[in-house]
Amino acid sequence: DANVSVSLHMAFLAVSEIAVHIGRFRNVDLFEQGLYHLRCKLFQETGEQNIDAVPHHFGAEESPGNGQHLPSVKDSPALAASVVEQGTAFRTKSVLIRYCEEEVEINDICQFRIEQPAESKQPWILELRLMFAKYPGEALLASGPALRISDSAFKSVSVQRLRLHNTVQGGHSYSPVVFDEFHFCQVGLIVHRSLVDFRLRLPPLGLGDTTTRLSAPSLEESLLKLAHLMEAKTDDQQDVDGPALLASAVDRIQREYVGRLAAAHAQTLDFLAVIRLQKERGVVDKALVYPGPPGTLDGNVRLSDRLVELNAMSACRLLMEDLGFMSGQVLDVWQMMLKVMPRNLEEVTAKLRHVWEKLVVERWSERIFRDVSPPIDVAVPSDSAIWATHGKLAATLRESRYFQDLPPMPIEDFSVQLERSTQPVLFEQRFKKDATMPSVNGYSRGRLPAVDVQPLPYQGLHVFVLVHGFQGNSFDMRLIRNNISLLYPRALYLCSSANEKDTEGDITQMGVRLADEVKLYVRDWCPGKPEPSLGRLSFIAHSVGGLIVRSALPHLEAFKDQMYTYLSLSSPHLGYMYTANSLFKTGLWIAKKVRKSTCLEQLSMTDSLDVNETFLSQLARASGLEHFQSVVLASSFQDQYAPFESARIEISSIAIADAKFGQHYSEMARSILEPLDAERIIRFNVNFHIPETNLDTVIGRAAHIHFIECQHLMQMLV
């Protein structure tokens, strides 16, 4: 085996520098006040024993910022940044967190050096541990000297693991790190990777047993085999042998590895140019000097021409000198980059985050099928069994080799990779006047036009109102709020609690209570000039919450010009008249009899003998939805708690065939949709991966709860 033979005598190892930069720490929804820091460890999994990267240098600089003051470690009882765990992990400085939505600048950077085979593509694992220590309550309010806490007082409360790819090829990547839902905070992470050197490993002469010495190839043979593996031979070299063959081999090897270091040098300089720091910080664009006579500015000087005596040992010595010469220049610009980067954190983060956002949109788009249809009749589906079509497409996608082999992100979240085949698949329907006629399977997926994920400019504050469903509470919407706040950190969030004590009463009264709660919140938090006023008002509602919001809208006419997005997550807008699940029907009938629930009577349209006077009929004729810029209706056929067509506000084939109530059902759907601009309506059908079979899945409750518990769905919708 050629690879084994080469490894007996020589091997090229790539030496890479990994700089882990921890920027801004943002408390989204941590439960406890106290001290927090991150513990970073970089390693490679090898099966029996992990290989740890050694943190060899760390530092921190205060960011000049952009006029916005963020608390620094000078203001807090911080532990200083340090290398810990017997020199295998890096600990950032600790920060004192006291308030919700508090942001603190950490701005610590640590360098790790790793060695690995030159052709290795195996990722390295970056483990980030969130460490927490309680801080005495009286000390939180004290204005005197900060109370110091020892490292032993900290405990690990959450762990996030990331895969780092392209550690040999190099690159610069941003990724926001979010910890678990019970420690919901975000850390800005930037990872710089660069190849800085190659090492040629040669075993000491005369060592090893007799069998190994006899079976191992000579140094010259090893060079020839390595060159052959690199496809050094060309058609016109087939008859070359002897010294000429050795010269060709060493020249090919030298060009390959010197060329890689030259590319690493250029990559770092390009990054400095992209972030526009060369001129601002006096960074000089250093011309790369190649090995050879003084002033050599290209790599065309052959190594073999510089050898006094052409033999394998001389060639290896000169090759190592050349690599060392190149490595020094690569390290020079690498250290230059690390010096200026922390002082320009805002600009670096903004540019790398933009790249990350585009990659994320592309990646999530692989799980979203889009259908754009002309708005002929938005109340009637073009495919009467569209859920079956969607189910087949989702199953095909999850099983496809293409889907499984999608290239990873440069910094890859472990949970996303490990659960790729179990993630939800979305089917989006939009309407556009100049769209072509719809087809049964007229979906697009994958590479989509660029999406600007930055919100459009507007005056005032954006208020998101999140409304829970039947027998729910404000805590149900916490995970959705947290995920949205990652993208819109400056917005305000009201998780409604006005109806927590009575979700079984009259939905009309629930709407009044919600409207009063919203008015009070806007008055308190968006008071108007000279303070920021209300700029946008969006509603996100789960289950019955979608109807509560619609019931509240007539009472919120004063805010109609600020209404922006209405998103209902599996809300039964047309009630339970045509629910397909017999078990759910039975349970609903029993619940109405036992609980005497007005809400369930209204959803069943049994709250009045005259169908035109039922709550849902009156709500369908009410105004409000037409004021929103986007009306998003999310549904899932797997969720039988909200009938599929009811959640989508569509007329089902069953309703069309029903001579008794079908016409009224159709009129309700059209009454809701006709005042709306069709191009503002978006429908989502979510296909969840729910492999287990139990009572919750049979009656459709599992999918219903997934809408407020599935992080992947929230990230896709946001």
Q: 682 near 632, Cβ under 8 Å?
A: yes
For 289, the token pair is 């000097």
Q: Does pLDDT of 12 surpass 90?
A: no
Predicted confidence at residue 675, as pLDDT, reads 96
Mean local confidence (pLDDT), 228-236: 48
Mean local confidence (pLDDT), 691-703: 73
Q: Does pLDDT of 140 surpass 80?
A: no
Q: 453 near 718, Cβ under 8 Å?
A: no
Please state, for a pLDDT cut of 90, what percent of the chain lies above it.
45
Q: 603 near 574, Cβ under 8 Å?
A: no
How many helices and strands, by DSSP H and E, does the chain display? 22, 21
Predicted confidence at residue 152, as pLDDT, reads 87
Q: Does pLDDT of 233 surpass 60?
A: no
How sure is the predictor about 219, in pLDDT bands with cuts at 50, 70 and 90?
low
How sure is the predictor about 443, in pLDDT bands with cuts at 50, 70 and 90?
low
Domain parsing of the chain, residue ranges: 11-62+77-200, 220-226+244-366, 368-406+423-446+462-717
Mean local confidence (pLDDT), 699-718: 85
Residue, of 423 and 260, whose pLDDT is higher: 260
Q: Does pLDDT of 72 surpass 70?
A: no
Predicted confidence at residue 419, as pLDDT, reads 67
Residue, of 344 and 169, whose pLDDT is higher: 169
For 594, the token pair is 């036992």
Report pLDDT digits (tens) over 476-520.
999 999 999 988 888 999 999 999 988 889 999 999 999 999 999
Q: Does pLDDT of 415 surpass 50?
A: yes
For 431, the token pair is 């309407």
Predicted confidence at residue 451, as pLDDT, reads 42
Instruction: Please give the Cα distance from 173 to 156 (Å, whole number).
Output: 26
> What pairs with residue 365 in β-bridges?
none
Determine the length of the chain. 718
Q: Strands 461-467, 534-542: parallel, antiparallel or unpaired by DSSP?
A: parallel
Predicted confidence at residue 362, as pLDDT, reads 87
Instruction: Please give the Cα distance from 369 to 394 (Å, whole number).
Output: 9
Q: Does pLDDT of 433 surpass 80?
A: yes
User: Fold for domain 368-406+423-446+462-717?
Assistant: Rossmann fold (3.40.50)
What is the residue-averaged pLDDT of the chain?
A: 82
Predicted confidence at residue 297, as pLDDT, reads 58
- For the whole model, what pTM was predicted? 0.83
Predicted confidence at residue 578, as pLDDT, reads 80
The H or E element spanning position 493 is strand 492-495
Picking from 709, 651, 647, 713, the residue whose alpha carbon sits closest to that of residue 686 is 713
* C-alpha distance across the termini of the chain, in Å: 52
Which range has the worst mean pLDDT, 108-122, 269-283, 697-711?
269-283
Q: Does pLDDT of 163 surpass 70?
A: yes
Report pLDDT digits (tens) over 21-59.
999 999 998 989 899 999 999 999 887 788 999 899 887
Please state, for a pLDDT cut of 70, what percent of the chain lies above it.
79
What CA–CA distances, in Å, run from 247 to 7, 234, 258, 290, 634?
A: 21, 14, 16, 19, 67
Predicted confidence at residue 67, as pLDDT, reads 37
Predicted confidence at residue 73, as pLDDT, reads 43
Predicted confidence at residue 465, as pLDDT, reads 98
Angle at 231 between CA 228 and CA 235, to 5 degrees: 100
Q: Does pLDDT of 201 surpass 60?
A: yes
Q: 12 near 187, Cβ under 8 Å?
A: no
What CA–CA distances, in Å, run from 103 to 68, 97, 106, 330, 492?
A: 11, 8, 10, 35, 16
Q: Does pLDDT of 10 surpass 70?
A: no
Predicted confidence at residue 222, as pLDDT, reads 64
Give the CB-side neighbour count of residue 343, counting CA atoms within 13 A.
Answer: 8
> What pairs with residue 126 in β-bridges?
42, 162
Mean local confidence (pLDDT), 524-545: 88
Question: What 3-state class would DSSP assign to 234?
Answer: coil
Mean local confidence (pLDDT), 652-680: 92
Report pLDDT digits (tens) over 551-603.
999 999 999 999 999 999 999 999 988 876 666 666 676 777 777 789 999 99
Question: What 3-state class would DSSP assign to 379?
Answer: coil
Predicted confidence at residue 435, as pLDDT, reads 73
Mean local confidence (pLDDT), 643-657: 91
Predicted confidence at residue 209, as pLDDT, reads 46
Instruction: Please give the Cα distance from 403 to 142 (Å, whole number).
Output: 55
Predicted confidence at residue 238, as pLDDT, reads 47
Question: What 3-state class would DSSP assign to 536?
Answer: strand
Mean local confidence (pLDDT), 75-95: 84
Instruction: Please give the Cα distance from 302 to 315 (Å, whole number).
Output: 11
Class of domain 11-62+77-200 as given by CATH: mainly beta
Mean local confidence (pLDDT), 619-646: 94
